[in-house]
Amino acid sequence: MTFAGTAAASTLDPTVVWDALVIGGGATGAGLLRDLARRGMRTLLVDRSDLGTGTSGRYHGLLHSGGRYVARDQSAARECIVENRIVRRIAPFAVEDTGGYFVTTPDDPDDYADAFPGLCAASDVDCQEVDVAEVLRRNPTLNPRIRRAFAVPDAAVEPWALIEGNVADAAALGSAALPYHKVVGFDRSGERLLAAKVVDVRSGTEYRVMAGQMVSAAGAWGGQIAAMAGAKLTMAPGKGTMLVFNQRMTDAVINRCHKPGDGDIMVPVGTVAILGTTDIHVADPDDWQITRSEVDELLDEGEKLFPHLRRMRLLRAYGGVRPLYDPNEAGTESREVTRAHVVLDHAARDGISNFTSIVGGKLTTFRLMAQDTADVVARKAGVTARATTAQEPVPDPHGGAKARYHWLGGRLAAHEAEGGGDAGLLCECELVTRSMLEEVLERRWPCSLDDVRRLTRLGMGPCQGGFCTFRAAGAVADHAALVTNDPVAIGDMAEQAMADFIRERQRGTQPIAHGRQLQEAVVTAGFQWGTLGLDSLVGTDARSDAQR
Amino acid sequence: MTIASVVEEAAHEAVGLSSDECLKCNICNEVCPVARVDDRFPGPKYVGPQAQRFRLAAPVPINLDGKPVLTPDRTVDWCSGCGWCTTACPAGVKIAEVNSRARASIRAGHRPRLRDWLISQTDLIGRFGAPFTPLANWTLHNRLFRALIELVLGIHRKAPLPLYAGRSFRSRFKRRGGLVGRAGEAALPPPDRAVVYFHGCAANYYEQHVADAAIAVLERNGFQVIAPPQECCGLPMISNGLYQGARTKARRNIDVLAEYARLGYRIVGTSTSCTHTLKAEYAEMLDVDDADARAVSQATWDICEFLLDLHEQGRLDTGFGRVDQDLPYHAPCQLRSHGIGLPALDLFALVPGLRAVDMDHDCCGIAGTYGLKKEKYDTAMRVGDDLFRRIEASGAPESACDSETCRWQIATATGRPSKHPVEYLAAAYAAADAVGGAAGTSAGAAH
Amino acid sequence: MPSADVAVIGAGLAGLLTAVRLAEDGARVVVLSEGNGTLHWAGGPIDLGFAPRASDAADAVRGLARRRGHPYALLGVDVAPALDWFLQLTTDLGLPHAGSLDGGFGPLPTGIGGVRPVSVVPAAQAAALEPWAPGERLVIAGQAGFKDFWPRAVASSLARPEVWGGFSRPARVTAVTVEWPGLHERRNLNALRIAEAFDNPDWRTAALDITARAVASTGPGPVRVGLPAVLGLRDHPRALDAAEERLGAPVMEFPLVPPGIPGIRLHDVLRAKLRARGGRLLLGERVARVETTRRKVTAVATTAATRELVTHVGALVLATGGIAGSGLIGEPSGVIRETVLGLPVEGPPIESWLSGDPLDPGSLPIAAAGLRTDDTLRPVDPGRPTDGPLFDNVRVVGALLAGQQWMVERCGDGVSLASAWRAAASLSGAAPKRRATPRRAEAVR
């Protein structure tokens, strides 16, 4: 990711001594920022990229009821259901109340279903057996041969709105979050970290950030941060691949009622449905691929729930890396590693008094993870205030007058209420208007179109940016003109935005490039290269032979 | 989407899933006649496969500030259901069908607007009006009454309404000894010597002459005509989102027609709208697609399609007399949805002297009941404007069209009559008889 | 069940050209297409071929013809006569084109601020073939808020010399944003709606006045005016003339994302020509099955409501357009399926369908997948090319022909032209000519 042209100077004030520095802008980091701020600690959060680009931005979209864990990990299940209720209460705008079902397919054992309600009850997870015919009536694409169905309070949760809301809450109390600020080292003196060395990746400027406490919420990258601090921490990142389908073939979360395995959950997330997932250990959280055989495997499993899955439009494949922590510090099989979260006090472990790491966990329990971590950090800082994050609502970043659950049709209804029509729609697939885009550019400049995507859903529909990339680049040029008069710089920024976005969207197409989505890719490439001469704008060193 | 239809091989053809095929290429928007003239309508791509992703799979109301909301959008209501989008889509998205279902969703759970309910009750309107033909016609074509109707019901004062023509076709047909019973009620001629005639509401109450012409042509070619008990095909109800009522009609029609279909009789209709409903819309829109429904669907033919098929087999009586006439011809949208080409034009080519010209216009605007509505009338007239001008400019005394509502729209707008293609074929046969001989050979009577 | 001498499957450029040529020769032609074709996305230029080191299109064609397996290896010689015919045809139909095989390339700016080489273009883009004079400026004018054309972004990109490559370029590039009458109030606006507005002479006059004033405000001196490709649909020739006259400068239409108005114009005139010659174009007809006898196709059945429309044919032309046109489908198993006859396809393995840097136009090797043919464009088995044609009365035209990287080589339209030319000649030679006008009924068969 590069930034062309004039990048605005970082808003970081190096003279400030923060009470705490949080490294990592995923859900846990944002939750921690909010929690510490509410305890009166002036906190700065930094992330090497945009907020929510780590695991939080690449997970399944599921707010667990806990039903998945009732058989093997009761405490995890219990944590899930408690936090599920809290998140619904404090941040309903980020949650779509889809409900969920555990269903028994012909491939699933009856004894698991028999035991399921009891196991749920033991973990306090609401569970109700329901009439299969009714479930099939509402979800006609489900396997008609399912035998039993149990309703649970699963829901879909949107991570970026959640993160934004947490950050906004903290900002109102004088704390701050800075994306595109990468920690590259620490200044250490004896037992204490005095400062973090942070680089604004957009401009290359380096800063020293002084903070009383240093907390790593860097997830799968926790080991790298710890190493910079001189601490030993081995992560066992577990890659999970997910498949995005063009439409919601189900409006409820559908789980297989069996021992948890690959490809056994379908989650409706906004306008799409996401099937997941796999679990493959990777050595480097920044270096991994999605293979076609993984895709095939997922489709095979998914077909057990939705027999016609292979005929449905597959938009892209993406992966995320679970921040699994390996307490044995040796490379164990990913599935064996605990999914529970662990707060690591590096004072005891590594003799660094003011450094703490949070590892493991899942997005559903982000608030609890943040609270547990904040308890340790506050104690070390001598702060006695207690957490209030479970009680107080998270502000809705879209300023909804009345915070309510997210509704799939909300964006379309709002658009029609304002007159409707396609004139102002820059991304037609996802109904992203020109003013929505401009508002994000205003708030986050300088930023990439991928950043805009996270906050608006630009390019996340069937055309995968084929049409809207250029419209968005046009909007970028118009916005750039507000900060510079230099047409070359403006052109640069627009082209860079275009190029980066096309490349990013294409990453998700390659593993699933067949059928209609392959055609979509060829059609859009046809008018991008053929009609519109994109090659004259975006440079690449890898010119094909045909052009020599 | 029914469970049954999803698990079958053809599941992927199911309307809801066909949205998956969309390439976002905009071709549908380019051919949409309504988007062409009305800025209120965002176009088929927007209200079809695009908006579909924002609608829940099953219509379940959301509680929004205490009000139950079923669907997020309204602008799909401007879609006329002409079907051009589906025809022109290179990827096979059944856009018009997606739109129709969305319109039905908007109405589900609400009481229908009186007007929409009323104009869908074509059987009732026909049955109650016909006995009072002179009064009914006077009322419905009196300016004051029409202004009142527009005010109260929302049917535009200038909307083209047909004229009642006294006794219904069925009643006359029964009187002259036509076969009108269910299969098995009376001795029937074998299926290769008889066809079932689906006359539809128009031929029954307003255009009996179309039915007469059709019967004359069919009998000329050796087919006795059976007109079993039948109701409105239900299309006006489907178009107005009244799916429950439409399903009732569908079931009743299928109940009678399936018996004939299973015996091998073909079901021939003179309305491209009715026949398309029987062929496709019961299944695609109403999810009525059991074995009986499929039997009826597969036995259904548009009359020109049927006659042309006879001709391809060498069994059509081509002894047409001369009909010297320039004839502008409009192919209705509903005909294109059949996907059978332009059989009327091919039949016209067999009639000496008949110079038929395809007007090559997308839509006359009426789109069934769409153009009757006060808020849509202007749009409908703008959609058809080029067609009306072209017909007027041709100088021809009449025009031809296979769909009744189109004929009424065109006749009203151009001030000259519009007839069903089969009427010209009947006239050509009559012309041949008048000169006492055939210009060509007569194949039909032989068998 | 209707019959035709030739059924052409696919209504893109190759399909329509083949159909028109056959109809001109007196054949009864029907074009069957699932929907409207790829012409509806096209931006205007007729791409015959391009290579960075080629001096002109003819040179590029020769270079590609030397490549083993490229369609030009067979069809290169047909490009010139096909192009002559096309240029005459489009001129007769009121849509004249400029340029030639040996006239060299010119830079055509596009709706995203890029520049692409062109050799043959419709009149509205002819200015792209003229070198820029010293001091000559480019003024780009666009409707405010029209989401498919952003004048500032376009002008900013075009201000960079590298974007023009080695071509001559304007001394300066300026953008003006205009408000054409009533458009800013519209809730729905795309290139087609604006083009339809330009068909109205009164509106057009007002819009051009506004534009002329805006262009004049950029200062004196010679200019060319760049506009989005929206200068009328049915009345385009008059709209173009009016624009050049009122603006007092050459005008260039920049191609946009679909809907491609220049392509639709070409589609419309070709379709009108086909109809005038007694041919038919039927949309909504997807091939369900084909009836064959030994090595001859006898009928093609297309999807119709509840049954099929069966067309008995003397010959069949496959103009279904490769992956982009749905003529080929890439199955997840790695098989590339040809969708009409199931003919064997030559193409890369699935791992290479999309590969390399997505910002390289060569990163879609799948685009070169297609069918192999003999010299008369009859399909052969790529694995056994010398075994003879798989069908005697089938011809393959356009993007469905294997071996062309049309995105990189810019040869797609040339292949369409040349293959249409050759296929029509081959079929006309074979089939007996019949009158195209409606005829009286024949005697009982």
| Residue A232: CB atoms within 10 Å | 12
C20-74 pLDDT, tens per residue?
A: 999 999 999 999 999 998 899 999 999 999 999 999 999 999 999 999 899 999 9
Contact B314/C at CB under 8 A: yes
Residue A445 binned pLDDT confidence (cut-offs 50, 70, 90): confident
Chain C, nearest residue to B341 by Cα = C282
Tell me: pLDDT of A21 over 50: yes
Which has the minimum average pLDDT: A190-199, A322-331, A438-447?
A322-331
Cβ C111–A532 below 8 Å, yes or no?
Answer: yes
Cβ B338–C305 below 8 Å, yes or no?
Answer: yes
**DSSP state for residue B50 in the 8-state scheme:** I
Mean of pLDDT values over B333-338: 92
Residue B72 binned pLDDT confidence (cut-offs 50, 70, 90): confident
C93-111 pLDDT, tens per residue?
A: 999 999 999 999 999 999 9
d(CA A485, CA A489): 8
Cβ B41–C190 below 8 Å, yes or no?
Answer: no
pTM for the full predicted model: 0.93
Closest by alpha carbon to B184, among B256, B251, B232?
B256
| C412 chain-A contacts, CB cut-off 8 A | 530
d(CA B190, CA A220): 78
**Res B104: pLDDT:** 83
- What ipTM was reported for this prediction? 0.94
**Res B391: pLDDT:** 97
Looking from the CA of B206 toward its CB, the CA atoms found within 13 Å total 21
Which residue type is seen at B392? Answer: E
CA dihedral C13, C19, C21, C27 (to 10 degrees): 180
Angle value at C-alpha B207, between B235 and C1, nearest 5 degrees: 65
Residue A542 binned pLDDT confidence (cut-offs 50, 70, 90): very low
Tell me: pLDDT of A401 over 70: no
A507-535 pLDDT, tens per residue?
A: 899 999 999 999 999 999 999 999 999 99
Q: How far does CA C184 lie from the centroid of its chain?
A: 31
CATH fit for domain B325-446, picks 3.30.70, 2.60.40, 3.90.320, 3.40.50:
3.40.50
B210-237 pLDDT, tens per residue?
A: 999 999 999 999 999 999 999 999 999 9
**Res B3: pLDDT:** 32
DSSP C98-139: EE-TTS--EEEE-TTS-EEEESEEEGGGGGGGSPPPTT-EEE
**Res B137: pLDDT:** 94
Tell me: pLDDT of A334 over 70: no
Q: Which tokens go with A499?
A: 């190029």
d(CA C308, CA C293): 19
Q: Which tokens go with A227?
A: 């190493």
d(CA B255, CA A468): 51
Mean of pLDDT values over A129-157: 94
SS3 call for C378: coil
Burial class (CB in 10 A: 0-12, 13-18, 19+), B437: exposed
**Res B59: pLDDT:** 63
Closest by alpha carbon to A222, among A333, A319, A349, A72?
A349
CB B296 within 8 A of CB B428: no
d(CA A504, CA A496): 12
Residue B243 binned pLDDT confidence (cut-offs 50, 70, 90): confident
Residues 6+ apart with CB under 8 A from A21: A43, A44, A45, A46, A196, A209, A211, A213, A214, A215
| B40 chain-C contacts, CB cut-off 8 A | 187
| B19 chain-A contacts, CB cut-off 8 A | 246-247
Residue B103 binned pLDDT confidence (cut-offs 50, 70, 90): confident
Element (H, E) at B266: strand B266-269
Chain C, nearest residue to A528 by Cα = C257
Window 348-377 of B, Cβ < 8 Å to C: 349-350, 352, 358, 360
Tell me: pLDDT of B437 over 80: no
Q: Which tokens go with B436?
A: 């006492």
Give percent of chain B above pLDDT 90. 79
Tell me: pLDDT of A86 over 60: yes
Chain C, nearest residue to B444 by Cα = C444
Mean of pLDDT values over B201-218: 97
Question: For domain B169-312, which architecture applies?
Answer: Up-down Bundle (1.20)
Window 94-123 of A, Cβ < 8 Å to C: none
| C155 chain-A contacts, CB cut-off 8 A | 487
Q: Which tokens go with A173?
A: 């109390």
Residue A400 binned pLDDT confidence (cut-offs 50, 70, 90): low
Parallel, antiparallel or unpaired: strands A192-200 and A206-216: antiparallel
Which has the minimum average pLDDT: A51-65, A238-252, A485-499?
A485-499
CB B239 within 8 A of CB B99: no
CB A76 within 8 A of CB A128: no
CATH 1.10.1060.10 fits B3-107, yes or no: yes
Chain C, nearest residue to B88 by Cα = C35
Task: Mutation target for A interface from B53, B63, B76: give the one with most A CBs within 10 A.
Answer: B53
**Res A543: pLDDT:** 33
Q: What is the number of H-type helices and E-type strands within chain A?
A: 15, 22
Mean of pLDDT values over C2-12: 92
**DSSP state for residue B112 in the 8-state scheme:** P
Residue C115 backbone phi and psi in degrees, to 5: -135, 135
d(CA B267, CA B199): 10
Cβ A307–B42 below 8 Å, yes or no?
Answer: no
Cβ A519–B23 below 8 Å, yes or no?
Answer: yes
**DSSP state for residue B420 in the 8-state scheme:** -
Residue A5 binned pLDDT confidence (cut-offs 50, 70, 90): very low
Angle value at C-alpha A88, between A82 and A91, nearest 5 degrees: 125
* Average of per-residue pLDDT values in chain A: 91
Task: Mutation target for B interface from A141, A271, A405, A524: give the one with most B CBs within 10 A.
Answer: A141
Question: How near does any CA of chain B get to the CA of A130, in Å?
Answer: 17
Closest by alpha carbon to A152, among A64, A275, A249, A269?
A64
Window 425-444 of B, Cβ < 8 Å to A: none
Cβ C309–B340 below 8 Å, yes or no?
Answer: yes
d(CA C91, CA B102): 46
Mean of pLDDT values over C213-231: 97
Q: Which chains touch C (3 or more CB pairs under 8 A)?
A: A, B
Tell me: pLDDT of C141 over 60: yes
In order of A277, B134, B135, B144, the CA distances from B138 in angstroms are 70, 6, 5, 11
Cβ C40–B39 below 8 Å, yes or no?
Answer: no
Question: How near does any CA of chain B get to the CA of A2, in Å?
Answer: 30
Mean of pLDDT values over A98-121: 96
Tell me: pLDDT of A4 over 50: no
Residue B240 binned pLDDT confidence (cut-offs 50, 70, 90): confident
Helices C412-430 & C13-24 angle (0-180, nearest 10): 30
CB B260 within 8 A of CB B195: no
Q: Per-domain residue ranges for chain C? A: 3-91+265-430, 131-249
Mean of pLDDT values over C64-92: 97
**Res C365: pLDDT:** 95
Q: Which tokens go with A346?
A: 């590096």
Closest by alpha carbon to B315, among B214, B227, B223?
B223
Residue B4 binned pLDDT confidence (cut-offs 50, 70, 90): very low
Q: Which CATH number applies to C3-91+265-430?
A: 3.50.50.60
Closest by alpha carbon to B224, among B212, B232, B216?
B216
| B276 chain-C contacts, CB cut-off 8 A | 305
Window 299-328 of C, Cβ < 8 Å to A: 322-324, 326
How many residues are present in chain A? Answer: 548
Q: Per-domain residue ranges for chain B? A: 3-107, 114-153, 169-312, 325-446
| A408 chain-B contacts, CB cut-off 8 A | 54-56, 72
Q: Which tokens go with C397?
A: 């035209």
CB B27 within 8 A of CB B54: no
Closest by alpha carbon to A70, among A109, A108, A125, A107?
A125
Tell me: pLDDT of A487 over 70: yes
Minimum-distance CB partner of C114 among A490, A506, A533:
A533
Tell me: pLDDT of A2 over 80: no
| C355 chain-A contacts, CB cut-off 8 A | 510
Q: How far does CA C394 lie from the centroid of its chain?
A: 22
Tell me: pLDDT of B129 over 50: yes
Residue A338 binned pLDDT confidence (cut-offs 50, 70, 90): low
Closest by alpha carbon to C54, among C11, C122, C105?
C105
Cβ B50–A411 below 8 Å, yes or no?
Answer: no
Window 499-528 of A, Cβ < 8 Å to C: 499, 502-503, 506-507, 509-510, 513-515, 518-519, 521-523, 525-527
Contact B39/A at CB under 8 A: yes
Closest by alpha carbon to A411, among A436, A443, A380?
A436
